[in-house]
Structure 1
């Protein structure tokens, strides 16, 4: 009989869990689980308080579900990754662990931690087994002709769809109930210590809730996603990102559930589905993080970015953070983020473009702020999105593309329904003026408690084009 340990990290689920499935293959083996919290490390990585709270509530849920399988989940609170390694060594020694099972993580510090764990546990006689559970397809199969990771999404997408067409991954079932180990007991935190600072109605707790959300989306919303996805006042997105970020549900599960609803696993479906495209973008950013570790160190993939003369205007940065720029769609997006810890994807692009291309503030400031507030914060996706908007990453939009907040607002929130929901000061402004409320205020001599635009959009656009063009040309020289 072997004693197997599952080390849970950002994979807080039972269904389609590779490491759990492997650890439970033999009915004779004893299986226990462990989660090590590292608050100091989380703080250093700008993990938001909402995501931490969301994580703790799901740990409680995971513990209860594991108990149904007679698997005990142990909990320990360390400070950082190095200290967590020390405890893991101690835990494995105390419990006489033979095999450790876990899923790979791709951020720089996490990869260094796992290398040390494997080295030290191997010396201790423990067999370490890691799995690429976050990926639909292993990076070794998604390479260009030069055996390099793709930097352009369209090429990456074509390659991975060709692979998926013939190798649709399977989801692992929840393992069967284990034999009861009467000697097992766990140390766990008190639920009374957790601050509930996220909206449980919007983000319900538990793997079952996440699976139900996926089912409803795939059955009733997925086919209309392309038409409705850009309108933030509609309930048209899956809202699964917080669950995906903590591994409460897997990308594989999302892919397979969607294809089952379509009842047609064809190349055309894989290419044309706008929602599956979002799943593939997640995959793309993970592959980039693996291939280019410098992403974890706030370095852009475009070398010419170092020649951009970023602004350090604190007044502008704070106005952007607080949602007081005078551009309603930008401010509504930022206030949604500050209130819910989540922002509609289209608004993430608009607000990011505004900070970088109009206020000319370093994209890293925006990346940190988003991470420190998002309930679905994920380094690979957040960094990838910011570098994309700043035109300094892989597959980046041309630097000449700058989102016009007023035009975007008219396209995605024509009647101002979303704007008025998050900016109550503008509820009395007529719909035709909601995108430029100060114009209505001046015409009608009606004072509104909302700031005038902090910049002139057209002037800021011209300035950004000059600065970005100069940075690129000077690099070429």
Structure 2
């Protein structure tokens, strides 16, 4: 009997998975699946221990789901992508695989791995079929009128919406097989640090993820645009961890959006959350289009000449949430505790690191990846380059978030700050956004650090360096 193999990577789901559906189309083929962990590669990419644990638990859930479709999931650990590729080739030969079905990954190392496997399997007359199951659209479809890659978000979004209106959103069917396996394979823990996470916040498995998606779209999506910037509100979807490892797909998100907002594509009916999904698409699109991004290099070449200070004392204070700026510290402590941070706070803390502490954005990028349960290279890289003014469609270099103004605007009563900095509970609410001034005035001692920098001075000095570097480059 011919064998179809599903190669799972960042697509740990059975539903709305084009690779799974295609593999199960022919009832005359036996279907098996494999997932290969690459701990050393994860380490080089700074994967968070919480995310490793999240992948592991969802992998077990996937294995249990596949049993219902009579698909046996094999797992293996290889140190690197190269070793994984070599093992995968041997696995295909051992199990008489005829066809391999997989969803594309777009980073440079992943593409090189897939090309190596495809080249070797082709010689053995084993065929590989790839799908864009992690994106709304193929990155090759979204091009401007000159058939070039978009570099700015707004026209990209307009083009994406045009294609989405024409997209066939019929769900692919997963055909049930008749082959029965007597023994389920166990999944050994990864040879990689794994850190427990709050499963009440991030429950395991695609069924729970889909339920959360349904509840969010039913109860919160209409008010999302109004509430999403306030970290003390439970207004966000908390679905990013599932999208990052493919327990959910962006197509599933789009379908639920359309159920709640059927005319979402019309200009008169905007949906802020759909905009966030398309931003994710944009960063995937850039990663697929520009291999340089996979090397952690800045798109804007002049910014590579910026003389970052990279003060390690400042960096450590930022990491631990001890900068003396409450909204910054609360955000970083949320990251360190949950492995997740509210999006508004990601922007504020990143801006502070780069444009006030004047530390290279890549150090912040790597730290976020080392902590985030929803760590995703494309989105993380895109957001850091956006806030650092180094990438395409980035914020202008003169835009710098003022943490005190942001704090007063989005956490006016200090509810979020006090959740993560309880040592400030005796500070008057009116002073909580700049507690050090009140502490000095009232001559009291508090177990909270003084600001590590003068914000206004840091803004002035660092902005002048950006301007000088820019002018030198374009002389």
TM > 0.5:
yes
Deviations 1:218-245 (A, max 9, x none): 0000000011000001000000000000
Deviations 1:261-291 (A, max 9, x none): 1233532267x21110000000000110011
Q: Post-superposition shift, 1:165?
A: 1.8
Deviations 1:185-228 (A, max 9, x none): 64531699995511111100110110011000000000000110
Inter-partner Cα distance in structure 2 for 1:367 and 1:16: 31
Secondary structure, aligned partner of 1:223: coil
Q: Indicate whether 1:102 and 2:102 are aligned.
A: yes
Inter-partner Cα distance in structure 2 for 1:180 and 1:56: 26
Secondary structure, aligned partner of 1:140: coil
Structure 1 length-normalised TM: 0.97
Would you say how many aligned residue pairs link Structure 1 and Structure 2?
475
Inter-partner Cα distance in structure 1 for 2:236 and 2:28: 44
CA RMSD of aligned residues (A): 1.7
Which residues of 2 match residues 17-166 of structure 1 at below 5 A?
A: 17-166=17-166
Inter-partner Cα distance in structure 1 for 2:442 and 2:378: 48
Question: Higher mean Cα deviation, 55-64 or 463-472?
Answer: 463-472
Deviations 1:157-176 (A, max 9, x none): 11111111222544334x13
Structure 2 length-normalised TM: 0.97
Match of residue 319, structure 2, among 314, 318, 321: 321
Structure 2 counterpart of 1:430: 428
Inter-partner Cα distance in structure 2 for 1:334 and 1:52: 20
Inter-partner Cα distance in structure 2 for 1:351 and 1:194: 26
Structure 2 counterpart of 1:414: 412
Q: Post-superposition shift, 1:2?
A: 2.4
Inter-partner Cα distance in structure 1 for 2:268 and 2:104: 30
Structure 1, unaligned runs of 5 or more: none
Inter-partner Cα distance in structure 1 for 2:265 and 2:77: 47
Inter-partner Cα distance in structure 2 for 1:140 and 1:382: 22
Which residues of 2 match residues 145-294 of structure 1 at below 5 A?
A: 145-173=145-173, 175-182=174-181, 186=185, 188-189=187-188, 195=194, 197-268=196-267, 272-294=270-292
Deviations 1:128-175 (A, max 9, x none): 1111111211122211122211111011011111111222544334x1
Inter-partner Cα distance in structure 1 for 2:256 and 2:356: 41
Any conservation in 1 of the 2:39–2:190 contact (CA below 8 Å)? no
Inter-partner Cα distance in structure 2 for 1:358 and 1:266: 39
Structure 2, unaligned runs of 5 or more: none
Match of residue 399, structure 1, among 393, 397, 400: 397
